[in-house]
Structure 1
Amino acid sequence: MRVSWGFDAHRLGGAGPITLAGVPIDSERGVVATSDGDLVAHAVADAVLAVAGMGDLGEHFPSADPRWKDANSMELLSRVVELAAPMTVSFVDVTVIAQDVRIAPHRRRMEQNLATVLGLPVDLVSVKATTTDHLGWIGSGDGIAATAVVTADPT
């Protein structure tokens, strides 16, 4: 078994909603990004690529490439799962770090979306959230971040 970790963060700006794990969440401000800015999908994709020894998301889908402008990040995650096929993901744990974005009402849909793309039973996908208690750039409402831990086994 292998274990890896992924991280993504984005500045908040413009109009919402914010998309996390393919779920649009009402928010006064959206995520500033090249793609749809789904930082949960990005963190999971980075962890999946790392567990397979295949670099990171930016290597495979560079933000400077116009093909990825406004890309659906859950579709990118699906492509990452195909690229990492020598490894089979066995568990995913995601933490969203945000001050004002409420995850709880959307958590189950986020877990289901990730489970579907990763080919896992939903009980092997965990999504949770925390704040920074108003500390730093996340606590001031200027940004949002996500971490992901992935375990995987050789196929």
Structure 2
Amino acid sequence: MRIGYGFDSHAFKPGVPLIIGGLPIDYPEGLAGHSDGDVLLHAITDALLGAVSAGDIGTFFPPSDPRWKGAASDIFLRTALEEVATAGYRIVNIDTVLVLAKPKIVPIAGDMRARVAELLGVSPRDVGIKAKTPEGLNQDGVAVAHATVLLEEIKTPEGKLAIAVEDDVDAAVKNLVDGIEVHDTRALGRKPAFDTDDLT
């Protein structure tokens, strides 16, 4: 088993759409950020990468790179899922906390939970989303997200590690998040350095 923790924060900004947890929210302000500012998906991405010691979101998608201006944050999440699959793990559950004054998250928490679960390829019952107000923190104009993820090692029926095949990472990701075991038992190893050109 491995545990990962992620944190992110973004300031609110007028004139941009608000997207949290991959869910568009009707609100007059969005979150400033080099991508779409999805504070929740950014925290989850860092939690997943941290759980398999693969660096952080900035390692793969530097804010200085203009290619990620306005990019949808599910691209970042898919990359983290690839790293988890390549390392031979799958998600057990994920728990998150959003800290923001407005908008109210409770009325849309169910939809957000379902969307995050869909993006991760897990059941909604394996995703926790909680919301808190920043009382006494003087950060009413900011949204903050914390995420914790628990991963488990994938094993074949023989008890050996199930390793993702580097030539077919996309299929491996789908297999792992769907709970289907991969039966390649070659030695565990990281794939080559991630090439961001693959996503452009």
Q: Normalising by the residue count of structure 1, what TM-score does the alignment of the two structures yield? A: 0.92
Q: Distance in 2 between matches of 1:64 and 1:16?
A: 20
Calculate the aligned-residue CA RMSD, in Å.
1.3
Q: Distance in 1 between matches of 2:34 and 2:115?
A: 22
The structure, 1 or 2, with the larger RCO (C-alpha pairs under 8 Å, 6+ apart) is 1
Which residue of the partner structure matches residue 132 of structure 1? 134
Amino acid at match of 1:136: L
- Matches for 1:65-144 after TM superposition, within 5 Å: 65-85=65-85, 86=87, 87-133=89-135, 135-138=136-139, 141-144=140-143
Q: Structure 1 residue 42 and structure 2 residue 34: aligned?
A: no
Q: Structure 1 residue 54 and structure 2 residue 51: aligned?
A: no
SS in 1 for 2:53: coil
Q: Distance in 1 between matches of 2:112 and 2:79?
A: 18
Number of residue pairs matched by the alignment: 152
Q: Distance in 1 between matches of 2:58 and 2:52?
A: 15
Compute the displacement of 1:32 (Å): 0.9
Amino acid at match of 2:72: N
Please identify, of 62-71 and 103-112, the stretch whose mean Cα deviation from structure 2 is larger. Answer: 103-112
SS in 1 for 2:58: helix
Compute the displacement of 1:15 (Å): 2.4
Compute the displacement of 1:97 (Å): 0.3
Q: For structure 2, list consecutive stretches of 5 or more residues without a partner in the other structure.
A: 155-200
Q: Which has the higher strand share?
A: 1
Amino acid at match of 1:63: P
Asked if the contact 1:16/1:26 (under 8 Å) is kept, the reply is no
Structure number with greater Rg is 2
Compute the displacement of 1:28 (Å): 2.4
Q: Distance in 2 between matches of 1:27 and 1:17?
A: 8
Asked if the contact 1:23/1:106 (under 8 Å) is kept, the reply is no
Q: Distance in 2 between matches of 1:136 and 1:149?
A: 22
Compute the displacement of 1:131 (Å): 0.5
Q: Distance in 2 between matches of 1:136 and 1:27?
A: 22
- Residues 116-148 of structure 1, C-alpha deviations (whole Å, 9 max, x = no match): 222211100011100022x2342xx22110000
